Structures are given as structure tokens and as C-alpha cells.
Amino acid sequence: MSLLADVLAPAPAAAPPAARGEDLHALVRRLYPICRSITGDGVRQTLAILQEYLPDLQVHEVPTGTPVLDWEVPREWNIRDAWIKNGRGERVVDFRQHNLHVLSYSLPVRGTYALEELKQHLYSLPEQPQLIPYRTAYYAETWGFCLAHEQLEALAEPTYEVCIDSTLAPGALTYGELLLPGDTEEEVLVSSHVCHPSLANDNLSGIAVATFLAQHLREQPRRYSYRFVFAPGTIGAITWLSANAEAVARIRHGLVLSLLGEAGGFTYKKSRRGTAAVDRAVALALREAAVPHRVAEFEPYGYDERQYCSPGFDLPVGCLSRTPYGQFPEYHTSADDLDFVRPEALLDSLHLVQSVAGVLEANRRYQNLSPYGEPALGRRGLYAAVSGSPDAARAQRALLWVLNFSDGQHSLLDIADRSGLPFAQLQHAADLLLAHDLLTPVPDPAP
């Protein structure tokens, strides 16, 4: 099937009972040919496809010139065609073959240029001579082309005809937002950037995982409300933060999803707080999944976690990826293609974020209602309830750990960290103790 056919192919009428890696990869294939930037019709087309998967996704348009925190919404950029032609009228560089060929946000240009002058507007990777680089000029009044270094070295004619059929004019910045209400108004934020053109891992993988996570959570009972934001990087997150003060105040946990489709181990970058519940929930999920991973400290560089974690907001938002940006040779090149992103890696990433959501949902504080001495668990049939499990001794230990640390101060996540027992086993123990009136839930402390 051609890339254009992938874009036009309809989404599944309903989400399958359990997503497959092929389902996530199919969404990546549909989105891959679209030329996206921080504004423009490419973002709109992308969000329209996501609405087929998430019908309640709301699309917002914020006009050019709107003040957003310390920034301003820029002019809207759209492109129809671009090329460099030789003396025989042949396109030696062709936007229609790959949308990375044009410097994003290039001004419109048409004319004949001497080769030496044209080279001032050409970008290549001498160290990766067969790959097209991804370059942008969002806030600079310029134009340019990106091409394989082999192509650049093959340019030998004295002049070339150049055309970039683009517009840079007042318009709007577009972003998508979906709210899945829960039992409480407290929110979990899931954010993914939608501004990159044909780069499958950065960040169509993050978009696909976020989309299928929303489909999964839509069908589950939810303690928290979940807010999904699909916005252009940096300026999109800043625009959302500027317009959503009430929602910001309700965010208790958050994740930025990016670079989740290749085969590398997971990397989790903590929130600015460093010890937020989401930081510990992701670390626990990674540990229990027994997958290669690294947990990194926060730094104010990277994706939109740096906006959510800016000191005025200081939201508990971390960033989950696989191999970090800039640390794999395909990064920001034409090699970040559909073959680089693997269905099984996408599915494993989805399962991990589902596990994180499960920990956040189940993490509670309890008060032991019989705290003076150990309650008679055998008399209540609790030891018999766990004796048939494959690991009866560990299940009994889980009961005792939950009882001992259910003092209204320690959560199940605290107990999992301290005991080393599986979170699911502690959750099951808490459920048993609740059913036998030995525990009572305690409200979370005010943020």
C-alpha cells in the first residue's frame, strides 16, 4: 500500500479488545507522510485522523498574535510544493519525494540561483551522507533545503531553478485535547508533541501510544480524570498552559510520551520534583516489567516536560521514552522511518504506560482499624484466602506489610518501595483487608 493510501485508509470502527502492535504501527503509517510543523494544515490533518480513533478529541485554534505566557502565537506556515531543478528541468531535490527536503517554516521563494549562493541555503550531514537531515527555522526569516550529502556533492551545474511554494501568514496554532472524566476531578496529564514531519519515532510513536492509551482508559473505571494533549512542541505546550489555569491546578500526575517505537531500552526522566508519585510509579513499573531501563534526573532541556516543570508551574510531569533524543543515529534524519519503528516496541511501550496508569489508579493510603498488635488473620479466614496462591508465603507477607504500614501516612506505593513486594500483590492484600473491615481508605493529602 502506498503512503498516501495509508493516510486515506479509514481507522478501525471500534478499538479491538486488546491493541496489537500492528494496530499502533498502522496509525504511524497513516500519519507518516503528512508534513507537520508547529502550525498549519499538517497538524489539522493529523488531529483529524486522531479524531477517528478518539471521537471526543477537541481541536482548538489559537490565533496568530495571541500572547501566551512570555511568547506569542506565531504566523501560520503551510507548504504545497518545493523543488530544485537542474538545467534540463529535472527535480534534483523534490519535496514530493520526502517532506524533510524543505527547511521547516521556509519563506516562499522562486528564482534562479548560482550554485555557490544556493549552497548557503542547503543543509546536509557529511557524516551520514545518505540521509536527509531534519532542520527548522521557526523564528527566523529564511528559507532552505535539506538533502543527502551525496546529493549535495553531485550538484555541479552553475545555476539551478528553485521554488518553495509556501505561505507564512496570520492564521492559528492548532492543538488537540481530550478529557476522560473520572470519579474525581484530579487529573493525570498525558502530553505528546505533533509538530514533526515524516519522523516515525520522533514523534509518531508517542502519538500512537498516547492514542491507544486513551482508547484503553476510555473503557476502564477511572479514579482520576485523564487529560490528553496533542500539541506542537514548546509553543504548543506553552499555549495550552497559558489557556488552562483551572486544569493546571487539578493535575496530580503527568507524562510526556516520546520516542517509544524503536528497540532500545526505556528511559524515564523524572519530574523537576524528583520524588513525585509519577516518578516512583514509573520506576516501579519498569522494575516489575524487568525490562532494560534507565531512570534519569530532571534537567531543563528536552521535550515539553520542561514547560510543565517550569518553576512557576512545577507540575509532577516526567518524560518516558526509549533511547533518548540525539543518542541514536537515526535521530532527526530520514532514517527515522517506518522500518525503524517496530510494532512490538510500540506495544511494549503501551503496556508499560498502562501499567503506570494502573499503579496511579490503585495507589491509596489506608488506616489500619486494628493497629494494636497483629489482628487474628487466621480467624478471619485471610490466611486461607491466600494459601492457595502460587506464592502463599509472599502473599501472607503482603498482608502483614499492608497492615503494618497502613497508618494513614504510607501509600501502597510507599509499601511496595520498602517491601520489594509486587504492587499487584499488595493491592490484592489491601482489597482483602478492606473486605474484612481491617482497613479504611484515607484521603490523599492536599497538594
* Amino acid type, 252: R
Choosing from 298, 329, 361, the residue where a domain stops is 361
The answer on 157 and 241 residing in a single domain is no
Residue 363 to residue 411: CA distance in whole angstroms: 6
In a domain, 149, yes or no: yes
* pLDDT of res. 56: 98
pLDDT tens-digit profile of 326-361? 999 999 999 999 999 999 999 999 999 999 999 999
The answer on 208 and 82 residing in a single domain is: no
Say what the pLDDT of residue 16 is: 47
The predicted pLDDT at position 391 comes to 75
- Sheet strands side by side (includes 159-169): 91-94, 76-85, 159-169, 109-114
pLDDT digits (tens, 9 = 90+) for 109-138: 999 999 999 999 999 999 999 999 999 999
d(CA 90, CA 432): 74
For 219-233, give one letter per residue: b (16+ CB within 10 A) or e.
Answer: eeebebbbbbbbbbb
Whole-number Å distance between alpha carbons of 172 and 39:
7
Last residue of a domain, one of 314, 337, 361: 361
The three-class DSSP label of residue 51 is: helix
CA 53, 305, 262 angle in degrees (round to 5)?
A: 60
Looking at residue 17, its pLDDT comes to 57
223 and 199 part of one domain:
yes
Are the CB atoms for 317 and 305 separated by under 8 Å? yes
Domain boundary residue, one of 136, 169, 202: 169
Question: What's the confidence (pLDDT) of residue 369?
Answer: 97
pLDDT tens for the chain, 447 residues: list them: 344 344 445 555 444 458 899 999 999 999 999 999 999 999 999 999 999 999 999 999 999 999 999 999 999 999 999 999 999 999 999 999 999 999 999 999 999 999 999 999 999 999 999 999 999 999 999 999 999 999 999 999 999 999 999 999 999 999 999 999 999 999 999 999 999 999 999 999 999 999 999 999 999 999 999 999 999 999 999 999 999 999 999 999 999 999 999 999 999 999 999 999 999 999 999 999 999 999 999 999 999 999 999 999 999 999 999 999 999 999 999 999 999 999 999 999 999 999 999 999 999 999 999 999 999 998 888 877 666 666 778 889 999 999 999 999 999 999 999 999 999 999 999 999 999 999 999 988 777
Q: Are 384 and 309 in contact (CB under 8 A)?
A: no
Q: Which of 56, 64, 58 is nearest to 38 (CA)?
A: 64
pLDDT at 8: 46
159-to-145, 162, 298 alpha-carbon distances in Å: 16, 10, 49
Q: Closest by alpha carbon to 403, among 435, 371, 362, 356?
A: 371
Query: What per-residue string of b and e applies to 252-283 under the rule 16 or more CB within 10 Å gives b?
Result: bbbbbbbbbbbebebbbbbbbbeebbbbbbbb
CA-closest candidate to residue 143, choices 104, 114, 170: 104
Amino acid occupying residue 300: P
**Is 42 a domain residue?**
yes
pLDDT of residue 392: 79
Q: The sheet that has 407-411: what strands, in order across it?
A: 407-411, 365-368, 439-442
User: Is the same domain home to 266 and 145?
Assistant: no
Please indicate, yes or no, whether residues 17 and 58 belong to a single structural domain of this protein.
Answer: yes
Task: Please tell me whether residues 241 and 285 are part of one structural domain.
Answer: yes
Report the CATH number at residue 82. 3.50.30.90
Q: How confident is the model at residue 274, as a pLDDT?
A: 97
Q: Is 136 within 8 Å of 100 (Cβ atoms)? A: no
Please indicate, yes or no, if residue 115 is contained in any of the structural domains: yes
pTM for this predicted structure: 0.94
Contact 211, 27 (CB under 8 A): yes
Q: What distance in Å separates the CA atoms of residue 6 and residue 29, rounded to the nearest whole number?
A: 6
Give yes or no: residues 237 and 345 share one domain. yes
- Residue 241 sits in which domain range? 3-73+172-361
Residue 447 located in a structural domain: no
Distance of CA 377 to the CA centre of its chain: 45
**What is the predicted pLDDT for the residue at 7?**
45
Does residue 390 lie in a domain region? yes
**403 lies in some domain:** yes
Q: Which distant-in-sequence residues (6+ apart) come within 8 Å of 248 by Cβ?
A: 241, 313, 315
349 lies in the same domain as 392: no
The predicted structure's pLDDT at residue 53: 98
State how far Cα 138 lies from the chain centre: 22
Looking at the structure, tell me whether residues 201 and 230 fall in a common domain. yes
Are 299 and 423 contained in the same domain? no
Nearest in space to 389 (alpha carbons), one of 338, 433, 425: 425
Residues 199 and 102 both lie in one domain: no
| Cβ count near 444 (within 10 Å) | 14
Integer Rg of the chain from CA: 25
339 Cβ neighbours under 8 A, 6+ residues apart: none
Mean of per-residue pLDDT scores for the chain? 94
Within a domain: residue 50? yes
- AA letter at 112: T
Q: Which residue spans within 200-273 are E strands per DSSP? A: 225-231, 251-257, 266-269
CA proximity to 102, closest of 35, 32, 156, 169: 35
The total domain count for the chain is 3
Other beta carbons within 10 Å of 240: 27
What CATH number corresponds to the domain at position 264? 3.40.630.10
Cis peptide before 201 (omega within 30 of 0): no
Same domain, 249 and 145: no
Per DSSP, the residues of 347-408 read HHHHHHHHHHHHHHHH--EEEESS-SS---TTTTTHHHHHHTSTTHHHHHHHHHHHHHHTEE
Residue 380 lies in a domain: yes
The pLDDT score that the predictor gives to residue 390 is 66
